[in-house]
Amino acid sequence: MPISDYLKAVRAKLGSDLLLTPSATGAIFDDERRLLMVLHADRRIWVLPGGCIDPGETPADTAVREVWEETGLHVEPVALRGVHSGPDFRVHYPNGDEAIYVMTVFECRVIAGTPKPDGVETLDVRYFGQRDLEDVPTPVWTRTIFPDLFAGTGRGFSPSTWRPPRGN
């Protein structure tokens, strides 16, 4: 599903102006520690499966639903791997909409299903090793989260850069 009824209603009021958007993402590794990625239809870049949290939905449920919709896999979140946002998470969509995501990343295990693109939001589904991802188009935010994801370690959030104003 490209955009929820909730976001359609918000966009009808807001237009294409910048929207702060909570989202959830599933990080799924195979036995070789390769990461599952989807080829996004509208931007033709490889991303982790995920999307916007709907009102009343938990981040974990969003990750499970989005992975199902975009890959055909039923997954179970097994670990919280991070909460990220910032300038690298700003997206300009082809239709003019702008969003900046607050992304909750869950590592998930596959319960059932065979990876397949939905043909609407996703055009391909593949596992990639960390080095393989250097050769395919990915969004800028991957530089923030991939090192910790592949290492299975890290702080799990974007580091703070905020400082109090001088004189306070």
Does residue 158 carry a pLDDT above 80?
no
In this predicted structure, what is the pLDDT of residue 62? 96
Q: What is the pTM of this model?
A: 0.90
3-state DSSP of the chain: CCCCHHHHHHHHHHCCCEEEEEEEEEEEECCCCCEEEEEECCCCCEECCEEECCCCCCHHHHHHHHHHHHHCCEEEEEEEEEEECCHHHEEECCCCCEEEEEEEEEEEEEEECCCCCCCCCEEEEEEECCCHHHHCCCCCCHHHHHHHHHHCCCCCECCCCCCCCCCC
pLDDT (tens digit per residue) in 77-99: 999 999 999 999 999 988 899 99
Mean pLDDT, rounded, for 128-151: 92
Question: What confidence score (pLDDT) does residue 155 get?
Answer: 65
